[in-house]
Amino acid sequence: MLHLRLLALAAVGLGALAATPAGAAEFRLASIAPQDSAWGKLISELAGAVDKGTAGAVQFKLFLSGKLGDEAKVVKKLGRGVDGAFFTGQGVGLVLPAYRVQELPFLSESYADADKVRQAIWPDLEAAFEKDTKFVLLGPGETGMVYLFSKKAIADVDGLRAASLWVWEGDEVAAETFKIFGVSPRPLDLLTVVQQIKGGGIDTVYNSPGGAVALGWTGDLSHVTSRAFAYASGGFVLTKDAWAKIPEAHRATVKKIVHEYGERIIKQARTDNDGALAKLTGAGGGISTTKIPDAKYEELKKIAVASWPNLAAKLAAKPFLDKARAALGK
């Protein structure tokens, strides 16, 4: 599940800081965010802020635009030439599956919900990274609320089951989510989606509005659901070995800067997605909003809620789900 231009891998760029001062600690960080995207620019600003905040003692060398491969490939490179990454929720979930409890269908029905969930479980997520992984969770991110974009209107369970739906190859959470609705999604990598939409192999995709625009998916689709089906997160992780190389006197500064920029990225994602959705569904946008009646929405939600315990178990995330539900009163 994706964010404005975050997953547009066509652009290839490299953001790097100037030559590293003698004695400085340099870290290689990857992201599939295009260098000239809002995400990419904020990540570059973050690197500059860390440089300034540590008086040059900590340097982030950035490899943006998917330069080091997609997220699954980057995860395999962590600790092997790559020190950390700015990930979508799927990438962070490859490191700690429980992170994706935030993305269970209909758990967060608004950004306010998403904020409550993140605030409720963030300390536990940090602790789980410390206890169960070789990485440190330094800051949050977000790709946005996820809608269904389709050739035919989807307003209920039957409409969803009739769809020829794409799922991001390797995204087990999304695949399991759609299966609970009786859908057998078709796994594809990002670069073949447009071709399959045009050829009729699929007729429905899930994405944030900005992500759908950036990937060029909306040109051959004509409908978007009036309500989001899920929330998609993101985050920044660094290997523990790399974290240990940051001078202790600068660790609090680095973590503070990364977390602050994570919040800025979240804010930017929301602005971008709201703007993209308004443009798509406005005059000349080519996309019609399919209203999901309240009764049909509740039917979809009931199926989703019943699946939460099973999905959480697969993610080893039951304690996190319990806290999230308590925070939301669900």
* Residue 149 falls inside a structural domain: yes
Q: Residue 69: which CATH number?
A: 3.40.190.170
- Residue in 233, 215, 219, 212 with CA at minimum distance from that of residue 275: 212
* Residue 112 falls inside a structural domain: yes
Tokens of 299: 């039917």
Question: Other CB atoms closer than 10 Å to residue 18's CB: what's the count?
Answer: 8
Separation of alpha carbons 243 and 237, rounded Å: 10
Task: Kindly report the average pLDDT of the chain as a whole number.
Answer: 91
Q: Which amino acid is at 279?
A: K
Q: Which domain holds residue 128?
A: 25-328
Question: Other CB atoms closer than 10 Å to residue 124's CB: what's the count?
Answer: 14
* Residue 3 falls inside a structural domain: no
Tokens of 230: 């899920």
17 pLDDT band, cuts 50/70/90, is: very low
* Residue 17 falls inside a structural domain: no
Helix, coil or strand: residue 159 = helix
* Residue 7 falls inside a structural domain: no
Q: Mean pLDDT throughout 266-290?
A: 96
Q: Would you report the helix, strand and coil content of the chain in percent, each value rounded to 5?
A: 50, 20, 30
Chain segment 182-223, per-residue pLDDT in tens: 999 999 987 799 999 999 999 999 999 988 998 889 999 999
Q: Work out the percent of the chain whose per-residue pLDDT is above 70.
A: 93
Q: Work out the percent of the chain whose per-residue pLDDT is above 90.
A: 82
* Residue 14 falls inside a structural domain: no
* Residue 100 falls inside a structural domain: yes
Mark residue 224 as left, alpha or beta (left: phi above 0; alpha: psi -120 to 50; beta: remaining): beta
* Residue 297 falls inside a structural domain: yes
* Total domains, the chain: 1
52 pLDDT band, cuts 50/70/90, is: very high
DSSP states along 223-284: EEESS-SEEEEEEEEEEHHHHHHS-HHHHHHHHHHHHHHHHHHHHHHHHHHHHHHHHHHSTT
